[in-house]
Amino acid sequence: MTEPEDPSRERLKHHFAQRVIHQARQILEIWQRLQRSEWSSTDLSELSEANLRLLRFAERFEQPEHSQLAEGISQSLQAVDANRGRLSSHLITEINRLMQRLSRTGLRHGDQLEQTFLPPLRKPIYVMLQDHDRAERLAKQLEFFGLSALALDSVAAFRTSMVERLPAAIVMDVDFSGPGIGLKLAAEAQEGLEQPLPLLFFSLLETDTPTRLAAVRAGGQEFLTGTLEASSLLEKIEVLTCVAQYEPYKVLIIDDSRAQALHTERLLNSAGIVTRTLIEPIQAMAELADFQPDLIILDMYMPACTGTELAKVIRHNDRYVSVPIIYLSAEDDLDKQLDAMSEGGDDFLTKPIKPRHLITTVRNRAARARNLKARMVRDSLTGLYNHTHILQLLEDCSFRARREGKPLSFAMLDIDHFKRVNDSHGHPMGDRVIKSLALFLKQRLRKTDFIGRYGGEEFAIVMPDTDIDAACKVLDEIRQRFAEIHYPAQPQDLWCTFSAGVVEMSDDSDSLMMASQADEALYRAKHAGRNRVQSARQSKQSATFSSESTDSVINL
C-alpha cells in the first residue's frame, strides 16, 4: 500500500520551487534590461552569473525543466564568449527562444509546469478597502483571472505583509482605516524603494482636487471612483505591472556587398537586434514573407536593381506598406538622398556611420513601427488582434506547423445570450463583458497563443503546437472559470458563459477552411445547449466538415 505524501515535504517542495522561480525571474529581468542598451561584457557576465545560480538551484531542488533551460542558456553564452563577445543573429535568436520558454514556466496558467508545485511568477496584489468584505470579493474575482490577490483588513496587516513580500501592485482606499490614512500609508510604503510600486487609489465617492493631488504625491498612478469591477481593475493593473516578454527587433539587410552587409549585421547584433542578410535583392519579397522584419536596411546601388526600385516593389504589397525602409549608402548628394526618400524610404544614412547612430536610428524606427502596427492590427475595445490579422496569423502558423510537422488548433468562441446582456443592462455592460473575456483569455492562455476579436461578441484563438484534445481541455477549463465571474449590476449581479468550437489542422486544410469548420463546431455547441466546448474532428479522407465527422462535446 502506498504511503500518503508527507504534508511537510509538500511544503518544502513548494518553498524550493519558489526559490527556482524567483531566480528565473531575475534572469528575465536582466534579459529585458539588456535590450534597452548596447550589450556589454559586464551585462553578459551578470546574465551568466544569474544563470549559473538558476542551474544550481534547479539541480538542488529537482526542477528538471529549469535545469535544461539553464544549461541551454549557459551553452549559448559560452558560444558568445568563444565568438569574442560578438552576438550572431543565430545566437540572439537561440537565447531569446530559451528566455521565452523560461518566461512561460510560471507566468501563465495552463502551462505544463503549473501541474507541479511551481507558483505563478507574479507577486500578489494587495487590496485594502474600507469595506473588507468588498475587498475579499474583489480579491477572489482577481484570482479568477489568474492573479494572486490578498485582501488586508488593517494597517498592521498591511505593514506586516510589506515586510514579508513586496506586492505586484497596491489597490488602496484613500480612507482605508480612517479619513486620509490610506494616502499616508501608501506614501509610507513607497519610502526607500529603488523602484516605486504600482499604486491605484480608490474612493467610493467622487473626490476633490486636493485629495487627487495628495494621491499623486503619494505615488498614485490611477485614481478610481464608484464601482470597482475586477476586469476593469485588471486592465489597469496589466498596464502598470506589465513585464512584457521581450521580442528582439528584426532587421532585413539588403546589400549586394557581403562585406558591408556583414559589418552592418555585426553592429546590430552587438545591440541584441536579430538580422538577416540578403545579397540577392531579387529574392526580397520571399525573404520578407518568411522573416517578417520590423525594418529594412537597403543599399542604394545594386547591380540587379536600385534601392529605390526595390522600395517601390516592396510598397506595392499592402502588408509591408508600413515597414520602415532605411537607405544605407555612400551617396552624399543631398538631392539624390531626398529623391530616394520620396520613393518609399523613411530615412537615409550615409556611410561610414557611427555604430551608436545606426543602432539608435534602427531602434527608434522599429519601435515606432511596432507601435503603429499594433494600432493597425488590434481591436480598439479589447486590444486583441482584429478579424483580418487573426486570420493572417492563422495562415502564418499553418505554414510554420506544416514545415515543422507540429499540430495546430484553432478555436472560435462566442458569448452566450449576449443580446440579452445589451438589452437588459445596456451596451456599456456588454462592452465590459467583452473586455472581461478578452482579459481572461490573455491571462489563462499561453504567450505563444494568438487571440483575436473576430467580431462583436465572437473571439478566435490560434493555438500552435497544440492538438485538438489539449485545446479542448484548456478551453473547457477557461469556460468553467469564466462562468464564475460576476459583474455588479441592478437589480442583481450578472453572470455570463461562452460556447466554443475547435478544429485541428489536417494535411489538406487551409486557414479559411479551418475557420469555417471551427465556426460550424461553434454553431453545433450553441445548438446543443450553449456553455460548452465542441470539437470538429476531420476525417482522414476529407478536410471538409460533414455529418459523418466525429464530434466530441465536453459537457458541463
CA distance 499 to 554: 11
Query: Whose grid coordinates read 516578454?
Result: 245
Cα–Cα nearest to 438, from 396, 493, 485, 395: 485
User: At a CB cut-off of 8 Å and minimum separation 6, what does 406 contact?
Assistant: 464, 465
Question: E-strand spans in 228-337?
Answer: 250-254, 274-278, 295-298, 325-329
Catalytic residues: 457
Count the alpha carbons within 13 Å of 189 in the hemisphere toward its beta carbon.
32
Cα–Cα nearest to 358, from 253, 267, 272: 267
Burial zone of 510 (CB within 10 Å; 0-12 exposed, 13-18 middle, 19+ buried): middle
Residue 552, H or E segment: strand 551-554
Residue 400, H or E segment: helix 387-404
- What is the C-alpha end-to-end distance of the chain, expressed in Å? 35
H-state helical runs in 129-257? 132-144, 155-164, 181-190, 209-217, 230-241
User: At a CB cut-off of 8 Å and minimum separation 6, what does 138 contact?
Assistant: 127, 129, 149, 151, 171, 228, 230, 233
Backbone angles phi, psi at 296, to 5 degrees: -120, 130
CA max distance for the chain: 87
Asked whether the bond before 491 is cis by omega within 30 degrees of 0, the reply is: yes
CA distance 249 to 299: 20
Cα–Cα nearest to 375, from 356, 362, 389, 354: 389
Grid cell listed for 5: 505524501
